[in-house]
Amino acid sequence: MSSNTMNLTLKVWKQKNSQDTGHFETYQVKNISDEMSFLEMFDVLNEELIAEGKEPITFDHDCREGICGACSMYIDGKPHGPWLANTTCQLHMRAYKDGDTIVVEPWRANAFPVIKDLMVDRTAFDRIIQAGGYISVNTGNAQDANNLPIEKQLADDSFAAAACIGCGACVAACKNSSAMLFLSAKVSHLALLPQGEPERKIRVTNMLAQMDKEGFGACTNTGACEAVCPKEISLTNISRLNKEYLLAGLTSEK
């Protein structure tokens, strides 16, 4: 099967740093194969810019396999572009047609300041994890897993929550820039397992406190976060987070 080529117009956000006001710049890219990924298309554009002695577009990426969550781009008004349950690096140019104009922006959230162009600082997520997203127990050896019977539904729900890659699409899509879907996934995947029991109370209180400290907005349950999540993290995790927080407050020792 032969590939098709296309010519595209890109309107890309350019910003020197978090203090710069930023602006859109327009680029023309030609002879782009529909088999390329979106990031490969950007690679081609950057190589052309460098060859012309111009500054390339800065964007974040790592694995390019839909695992790391680094490829945070707002494409035509949607985090990670038009495909559902998909990361930018897994978005292919066959999603577009010859002559299309594509608008590309960084995540828009106070808690994610722009580093440069399309790259934002998502270390706020790291600090939330450091506040409580861990366990202190010795997890043992591989064979010990069979000695800890866990109800299948709980194991499945924990695994589904653990699929969160921390990309920040939920924050970018939320009108309040809330991080509740991310936080609820990180709390849920440990709260559902016996290994997460020792820190269960302090985990949810500390991580919520850190989330507020980072400046994320409040959750109003519009569901925009779930709709754009590349790993389809469920809103039911937010309900579980609220329950965990309530129980932690009711049973905490004064």
**Tens digit of each residue's pLDDT, the chain (254 residues):** 557 999 999 999 999 999 999 999 999 999 999 999 999 999 999 999 999 999 999 999 999 999 999 999 999 999 999 999 999 999 999 999 999 999 999 999 999 999 999 999 999 999 999 999 988 877 667 666 677 788 999 999 999 999 999 999 999 999 999 999 999 999 999 999 988 888 999 999 999 999 999 999 999 999 999 999 999 999 999 999 999 999 998 876 54
Label the pairing between strands 23-33 and 114-116: unpaired
**Could you tell me if 90 and 130 lie in one domain?**
no
Structure tokens at 88: 């930018």
Host domain of residue 197: 122-251
Rounded distance, CA 185 to CA 131, Å?
A: 15
pLDDT of residue 103: 98
CATH of the domain at 178: 1.10.1060.10
Residues 110 and 154 in one domain: no
Distances in Å between the Cα of 111 and the Cα atoms of 30, 104, 114 are 36, 20, 10
- The answer to pTM > 0.85 is yes
Instruction: Answer with the one of 65, 89, 116 that is the final residue of a domain.
Output: 116
How long is the chain?
254
Q: Where among 70, 85, 116 does a domain terminate?
A: 116
> How many domains is the chain partitioned into structurally?
2
Q: How much is the pLDDT for 136?
A: 81
d(CA 221, CA 177) in angstroms, rounded, equals 12
Same domain (yes/no): 99, 172: no
Output the pLDDT for position 253.
57
Using an 8 Å Cβ cutoff, are 24 and 14 in contact?
Answer: yes
CATH number, domain containing residue 28 = 3.10.20.30
* Domain limit, last residue, from 116, 147, 163: 116
User: For the chain, how big is the Rg over CA atoms in Å?
Assistant: 21
Q: Are 242 and 183 in contact (CB under 8 A)?
A: no
* Pairwise CA distance, residues 246 & 238, whole Å: 12
The verdict on 42 and 95 lying in the same domain is yes
Q: Which residues pair with 114 in a beta bridge?
A: 120
Both 182 and 151 in one domain: the answer is yes
If asked whether residues 150 and 240 sit together in one domain, one would say yes
